[in-house]
Amino acid sequence: MADSAMVIRALEPADIRATAALLAEAMDDDPAYNFLFPRGQGHLAGLEDFFARNLRTHLPYRCTYVGIVGRAVAATVTMRPPDGVSISMLTMIRRGLLPFAFAHGFSAVSRLLTLKDTYDAIESRLARGERHWLVRMMAVDPARQGRGLGSHLLNFILDATVDARTIGGKAPTVLTTHEERNVLFYERAGFEVDGAQTMSSMGKAPYRVWSMRRRPRT
């Protein structure tokens, strides 16, 4: 049963550090992020910095949400809207890639761009040319998993955003996941598996990627 004391609200600047740390811990063994930051010294710190940058990028769009239990961030989800997050190439370079390269090196930038191209292509195929919502980042504090917090947060946000603001009554929500156990989690929220593929082109051990779609509930 979900913790009834969890408060769901939009991400605030003061939440970024704790939310980035939660994402880093939850994604610690994720194969894609292990490609971005190979395991070893600096792995978790690199992930925290990466997620903090992503959270700051999405902050003006008010599309990242947190579930607060007590004073702690217990869960988070970023629901990127159909119009996306508009960032100019100049801004991306000056505020994104250059600081990221300075912090982590140009080899990390190369790996980041490889991941971006790979998952942009998957998203494009999954969307089939439709305007769509994207579950961009989602995680639950590993110490609190299994209590229904993730389901409560995801369903609450889907209901408040996707289902409440459908475009023509048919804008889908899409996502990818690397964990088979997550497939059932998302199926309970109305997602269906659209396909699965093995990723083996990034010089690491092959891993599975499940692509999922969900039609809005009306």
Listing DSSP states for the chain in one string gives: ---TT-EEEE--GGGHHHHHHHHHHHTTT-HHHHHHS-SSTTHHHHHHHHHHHHHHHHGGGT-EEEEEETTEEEEEEEEE-TT-----HHHIIIIIIHHHHHHH-HHHHHHHHHHHHHHHHHHHHHHTT---EEEEEEEE-GGGTTSSHHHHHHHHHIIIIITTS-STT---EEEEES-HHHHHHHHTTT-EEEEEEEE--SSS--EEEEEEEEPPP-
Could you read off the pLDDT of 16-61 as tens digits, one per residue? 999 999 999 999 999 999 999 988 878 999 999 999 999 998 999 9
Q: Which residue has the higher pLDDT, 83 or 91?
A: 83
Instruction: Please provide the distance, in angstroms rounded to a whole number, between the alpha carbons at the two ends of the chain.
Output: 26
Please state, for a pLDDT cut of 90, what percent of the chain lies above it.
72
* Tokens of residue 37, six digits: 């930051």
Q: Which residue has the higher pLDDT, 99 or 145?
A: 145
pLDDT on residue 21: 98
pLDDT on residue 1: 46
Could you read off the pLDDT of 63-77 as tens digits, one per residue? 999 999 999 999 999
**Mean per-residue pLDDT for 197-213?**
85
pLDDT on residue 4: 59
Contact 196, 210 (CB under 8 A): yes
- What average pLDDT does the structure give for the chain? 89
